[in-house]
Amino acid sequence: GAVVSQHPSRVICKSGTSVKIECRSLDFQATTMFWYRQFPKQSLMLMATSNEGSKATYEQGVEKDKFLINHASLTLSTLTVTSAHPEDSSFYICSAIVGAGRDEQFFGPGTRLTVL
């Protein structure tokens, strides 16, 4: 149980376009989802915390207008990279927690974004 999926696994886009990444909890309802960014050979950096039905909380230095997060249901959160540029190329990982006292984060497999 507690499986988190991400779609797509890889995406290549042209500079200036927008890209949407989906994060789904497959067998549980996730009260909270997190979005991370991981550069090559570096650690995961938390970008934002997403709670179902409310606005995401962004970490310092993360542009909320650049990285739009929507958590419309208890099983789906989306991250949209708007007007993508080559420096946005990275590995984006989501995680989800069940809540209600169970705080273990379950991670998705990640999405590799390459902006040309």
Partner 1 sequence: AQRVTQPEKLLSVFKGAPVELKCNYSYSGSPELFWYVQYSRQRLQLLLRHISRESIKGFTADLNKGETSFHLKKPFAQEEDSAMYYCALTTGGYNKLIFGAGTRLAVHP
Our finding on whether 51 is near partner 1 (CB under 8 A) is: yes
Angle at 99 between CA 98 and CA 100, to 5 degrees: 125
Among the listed residues 37, 58, 108, 115, the single contact to partner 1 using CB under 8 A: 108
Cβ atoms of 3 and 107 closer than 8 Å: no
Q: Which stretch binds partner 1 (CB under 8 A): 12-20, 43-51, 61-69, 78-86?
A: 43-51
Of 19 and 37, which CB lies nearer to partner 1 in the complex structure? 37
| Sheet of strand 67-73, all strands in order from the earlier edge strand to the far edge | 4-7, 19-25, 76-81, 67-73
Our finding on whether 61 is near partner 1 (CB under 8 A) is: no
Among the listed residues 62, 68, 107, 112, the single contact to partner 1 using CB under 8 A: 107
Report how far apart the first and last C-alpha atoms of the chain are (Å, whole number). 37
Angle at 55 between CA 8 and CA 51, to 5 degrees: 65
Of 51 and 70, which CB lies nearer to partner 1 in the complex structure? 51
What's the rounded Cα separation, in Å, for the pair 56 and 60? Answer: 13
Our finding on whether 34 is near partner 1 (CB under 8 A) is: yes
Positions touching partner 1 (CB under 8 A) are 4, 32, 34, 42-46, 49, 51, 57, 93, 95, 97, 103-105, 107-110
